[in-house]
Amino acid sequence: MANLNYIRAINVALTEEMERDPDIFLAGEDVGEPGGSFTETRGIWQKYGFRRAKDTPISESAILGIALGAAMAGLRPVVEIMFNDFIGVCADQLFNQIAKARYMFGSKFKLPITIMANCGGGISAGPQHSQSWEAMCMHVPGLKVVMPATVYDAKGLLKAAIRDDDPVVYLHHKALYRLREEISDGDYTVSLGKAAVRKEGRDVTLLAVSAMVHTALKAAGRLEQEGIKAEVIDLRSIVPLDKQTVLDSVKKTGRAVIVHEAVKVAGIGAEVSAMIMEEAFDYLDAPIQRVAAPYVPVPFSPALEKAYLPDEEAVIQAVRKIA
């Protein structure tokens, strides 16, 4: 076993995968000699040099262009665009090229590209560095999207993403970087498309993702003191989505609250809610609730950002409304 924090788990996953497969290389801003903006690539440049840990210019479109060409040529690029907010800068490369190339060329080649980016608020980084854009990536066919909430998953999902033959957007939450756990120091992966039951319950299902998993767990602990036993599901894989685990839980509890940090309008909660309504409507005993951020930019002010982000009290109020 190894005692690691979340960001170190990412570093270990990258290091182990590059050791395992010589076709893997890193590219992005500061991923080389500086060791990454948050130490996620620390030590890799010193071990492999520029050939496999490439610092790039500040051009997200160029970074993803490198990834697309390299993958088509048979390599397995892992590229970082730092903040997921910068997806807007390279949207064409990601949404129109990487997501569609394998389809448009009739699967004549694989596209094993891992796109790493941090997401989420909580550190007063301002409205252009604190968003959660998983729903935008979820909307585009051809991309897989994962969001680890634990140290174990930070390592295992990244390894699975790197080994996958399709493009995977790997969104790691910056507010979780200091989260620490005892995890296996051996080789393991966490399957894409499989949710995790973090807490079993019978009265209501809390479906959460990324940092909101911990918010949901705290809320579930308080609700249990009131006699309400909440089941907490960590979706962790947005695309593919583990429908079966979600539906099995909702059929058991009859109630669902979906919790995510992105704005409520057109967020993943809307898609999950619609899926439950289409496939498990007869099992529902109350309307589905969504707990998410308001439809405004993420504030820079710490006080305003705290008010903006969903918290355990908001989850508890949503549960009380239907349970």
Known catalytic residues? 129
Single-letter amino acid, residue 323? A
Q: How far apart are CA 319 and CA 262, in angstroms?
A: 19
Which residues have a Cβ under 8 Å from the Cβ of 261 and sit 6 or more positions away?
Answer: 120, 121, 132, 209, 210, 211, 212, 292, 293, 309, 310
Termini Cα distance of the chain: 40
Q: How far apart are CA 20 and CA 187, in angstroms?
A: 10
Distances (CA, A) of 96 to 62, 108, 141, 283, 286: 14, 18, 10, 39, 40
Measured at the alpha carbon of residue 68, what is the angle toward residues 64 and 70, in degrees to the nearest 5? Answer: 110
Q: How far apart are CA 321 and CA 201, in angstroms?
A: 17
Cα-only R_g, the chain: 19
